Amino acid sequence: MEKLTRKSTRFLPFILLAMGLAPVPAAHAQSSATRVFSIPDGAGFYVDGTYYDHAVSFIWPAGSKHTLYVNALVQTDSTNKTAYTFTNWSLGTQVLQSNPLMVTADPSISEIHAVFAISYALYVRFYRCNSIPSNCTPPGTIYVNGTATVGDVDLYFPAASTVVLQASPNPGYIFTGWQPGFNQVIQGFLNTVTMNAPVGAYPGFQVTRPITLNSDPPGLQVLADHTPVYTPSTLEWGWNTTHTVGPVSPQQDNKGMYWAFSSWSDGGAPTHSYQVAQYVTPDSLTATYVRAEPVGVVSSPAGFKIKVDGRDNWPSNTFWWGVGETHHLEAPAQPTDAQGRGWTFTGWSNGAPATQDFVVPADRVDGGVMLTATYQPLGRLTVTSSLAGTAVLVDGSLCKTPCDVQRPLGTQVRVSAPPTQSLSAGVRADFQGWADGSAGERVFTLSNDALTAAAVFRTMNQLIAVANPPEGAQLQTQPASPDGFYDAKASVTLTLNAVPGYRLRQWDGDASGSSPTAVVAMNAPRTVRALLDRVPYIAPTGVENAAGATPQPGIAPGSIASVYGGSMGNDTASGPASPLVQSLSGVTVTSGDRILPLFFVSPAQINFLLPADFPLGQAALTVSAPGQADLRATFLAVHNAPGIFTQTIGGQAYALALHEDGSTVTPDAPASAGELLTLYGTGFGPTDRPRPMGFALPAQPRYQITDPVGVAIGDGTVSPEASFAAPGRIGIDAVQFRINDPALAGTNASLHLTINGRDSNTVLLPVK
């Protein structure tokens, strides 16, 4: 095989014609450019005796003769790992098999190339022997596409071809695997190589040690790397390799006797790893077996899961255990059968407790042992309910229904139900009794027969009915309920009674419409809102003395009066003390053609001055506010309508009176006997001179009350020292008197005025 070199290629780019030669005919004077190369590049060839290994171009005269030749039909590269095998010369698409190739130059021939087939080396490396073959001891044989090789070798295969390598260890060795590499697919001892480049394959072999697996008694099976083998069995295991040994237990010998694993000669676990040491001397392992006997582990009644050596999912409840072995058994204390009934453990057939360590006896080898866990049923009481989610009381403890009570036979169980219990927001259940017609607490004695009890409940749904605003109406329900809960089958009629100043706009929530009556079905919790609108109004007796209600109706000219109602304007406002104004926040009060002076206005109350010259008798007034209809009311103007101003202390009405020093009389500062007291009110009647309209009275002269005034206090009367219109005030009257009755000392004396035969309201006066 000729080596290819990388020396500079010698070529003659031009063939020169001697200028001094004889003339040549024109046809022979034509030249052609011809390129000669190899496929692939790098393979060597000769042109007219000169060697080339790359493409070369020539200028040849037409008709000239040239020799192209490939001397080495098989060539390798510098690494000896790639081979080129000559196949043919090619002229365009024409394949030319001759070699050498005689070429006559012609302008139509521009290229000629030598075609080579590529092969790559597959070099297998695992054993080299420098001695004669008979003295060589290779560790194994490698089959290359079925052809055996026993040492290192280089073989060439066409590019893109596939080669299958098979490793076979020789006696005394094991195959340890192929070294992974490119273009190799390894599957155990097989290696499939794709020849896309030179490839090295490296099989591994290891020296073995004979390991003999024995059993006592002989002839039984053991597991070698999870594979059953009969003993004795000698295996070749490689140095430093790890293998798994284990017993086959239980197993039956050829005489029909059963055996159970007992121990290994190396003291290892039943299934354990065995590490092969680097010795050529044989080794052995012996599995010792003992006689096995069948042990059945069952329950009575059947079906309860018993733990055997920590498991309760064995495929069978019959076990083959060796004589002398110890096994852990656990019988459940209170299992439940498929019907949900509980049972209680009563004992094992061998008299052991529920949890025991059972030692396999030697005297039962032939007949075996049957271990039975015996159970007794629990008494069972099931309490159901007509409503899901309800609970009952079992011996005083809540139990959600259906309540399953399981206890020893003969146990007494007390069952009752709460009178009512919440199920969810706005929903509750009311206990009605038991399905068998009984009521109250039940007592059951548990027996072998399953007992049942059914509690009957009634669903109650809550009705929340409110007015918005709350003070605008009263809501009545029919039928009535003390706590707002109704039977789910009931219908409730709601009736709205709006107070003066309000009217129903519409129902909202679980009712609709604008009728004062609505009907609600109580099959679910309900919330109903009555949406109210405010409407302006004056109360039926809404025009009265500003000091409060008096025994006789009517207001006196020159006094302060109040109008009570609702929505009589939008704002609250107070006017100046003097002079009074005729409009506050756009609100005016008129009577006939007169505009009345105002002290104070609000949506619910207006205080005004009835002029001193106002005519007596029935009269009417009109309240006008921006953006709403006028309100009208009637009142009676009378000569005298005395009213005493009060102060509320501790929920009681005390007279607004001043001590002689000007301080207020209160329960903490009571009136003293003999001191001059000043009592304030309004509506005492006309004065000795006309009161100015809407202006505060001057300090002097006093405006004296012309009608006789009497002061009734306690059980007696006193004569006032003075009665007059209060200076610096408008519409306020005063009376001055002294207390001389010692019987009043230390009391809250009742007090009222009588003017011209008309009584005032009654108030309290604390007396020291």
The pLDDT tens digits of the residues spanning 381-417 come to 999 999 998 999 999 999 999 999 999 999 999 999 9
Predicted local distance difference test score (pLDDT) of residue 324: 93
How many Cβ atoms sit within 10 Å of the Cβ of residue 666? 14
In the chain, where the domains are located: 2-119, 125-201, 208-290, 293-377, 379-455, 460-534, 537-637, 643-766
Predicted local distance difference test score (pLDDT) of residue 563: 97
The CA-atom distances, in angstroms, between 506 and each of 343, 373, 474, 496, 509 are 65, 75, 15, 11, 10
What gap in Å lies between CA 460 and CA 445, rounded to an integer?
33
> Given this chain, do its domains 208-290 and 537-637 carry the same CATH topology?
yes
Q: Is 119 helix (H, G, I), strand (E, B) or coil?
A: strand
The CATH fold assigned to 208-290 is Immunoglobulin-like (2.60.40)
- Return left, alpha or beta for 437; rule: phi > 0 is left, psi -120 to 50 is alpha, else beta: left
Predicted local distance difference test score (pLDDT) of residue 144: 98
Parallel/antiparallel/unpaired status of strands 537-545 and 412-416 = unpaired
The pLDDT tens digits of the residues spanning 84-117 come to 999 999 998 999 999 999 999 999 999 999 999 9
Predicted local distance difference test score (pLDDT) of residue 134: 77
Asked whether 416 and 385 are in contact (CB, 8 A), the reply is no
How many Cβ atoms sit within 10 Å of the Cβ of residue 138? 19
Predicted local distance difference test score (pLDDT) of residue 25: 42
One-letter amino acid at 555 equals I
Predicted local distance difference test score (pLDDT) of residue 132: 78
What gap in Å lies between CA 276 and CA 207, rounded to an integer?
11
Low-confidence ranges of the chain (pLDDT < 50): 1-28
End-to-end C-alpha distance for the chain, whole angstroms: 150
CATH architecture, range 537-637: Sandwich (2.60)
Asked whether 461 and 488 are in contact (CB, 8 A), the reply is yes
pTM: 0.50
Q: Could you identify the residue written with the tokens 């060796």?
A: 322
Predicted local distance difference test score (pLDDT) of residue 27: 42
Predicted local distance difference test score (pLDDT) of residue 745: 94
DSSP track, 218-231: TT-EEEETTEEEES
